[in-house]
Amino acid sequence: MERFCEHYLKKLRIGSLTLDSNVLMAPLAGYTSYPFRVMCRKLGAGLCFTEMVSANGLKYHDKATAKLLYTDEAETPRAVQLLGCVPSAFEYSCKGAYTEAFDLVDINMGCPVPNIVRNGEGCALTGNLPLAAKIIEACKRSGKTVTVKCRPGLNRNKVTISEFARMCEDSGADMLTVHGRTRDMMYDGEPLYDLIAAAKRAVHIPVIANGGICSEADAVRMMENTGADGVMIARYGLENPLIFAELTGKRVPADKYALLLEQTEIAARCFDELAAMDYIKKLSSYFMKRIPGTKTYKQALYQCGNMQEIRAILGQIFRETENEA
């Protein structure tokens, strides 16, 4: 098998930004908070996005929404993903204090969740090109680098990707990420490589391929079949963040539990205890996915009442995995 790092790895230019690698971590609600983004960057990801943030929530100063934007100087460059369908809310959010620290704004035009689509947000925007264009233009007025994440269309009978990609470029987008499944496919099924390739042929800006990448072989196959400028890892990055090191050839500690212990310390520094516990419990469940014998550990973690108890259990897992090795 071809190695990704030998044949496809490269630096990536997006607008005024130059990324260390063309392997990116997708925005994932509930997970891609500051600690996770820092870890993925350390492992080789060229860019990591915040969780999906409501542009309306920022416009109306929603405190819970604002908390999703925690960052500091250790994270660079910084990328925020915004969701919505009102151009003025996007412009306000991009120009306002909440996103001042962020270098790049990604616009969510790919979320397939029913209530999002019913609101005219996410994937619904692939069927409303005039509105999508106004949103991109509104974000560009902030002076930030602007990217778009989308799907090829609402279903296979309503594929709009080539026209949509050209609209994004004409409206000022600096990069396009295409999740290779139509909205009705949700998160299942083989990616539609030909539709990602169609987007790549339609524009001159970088096109990133996303969907179904759960191994180095998957990433190589995606690049071979689409001609994309890079790949974006999504849910598999939660299960095995070491995929970033595998794809970029970065030398890092080989044990996921050592990373998890480090995540615990970072979360404890930047979140209150309840938020830190919730994050580590969710992340731990993904780390242990498909590994035999971890059910007891998962149950113990979810019964923990403070960070000290969580550290003790993770330390026990770490010691046992070291002994097995």
In the numeric block, which tokens belong to residue 304? 């923990």
Cα 259 from Cα 321, distance rounded (Å)? 13
| The residue to which tokens 């996915």 are assigned | 289
Cβ pair 160, 127 in contact under 8 A: yes
DSSP 63-95: HHHHHTT---TTS-S-EEEEE-S-HHHHHHHHH
**Pick the catalytic residue: 94, 111, 139, 168?**
111
Cα 136 from Cα 174, distance rounded (Å)? 10
State which amino acid sits at residue 28: L
Is 48 marked active-site?
no
Active site residues: 111
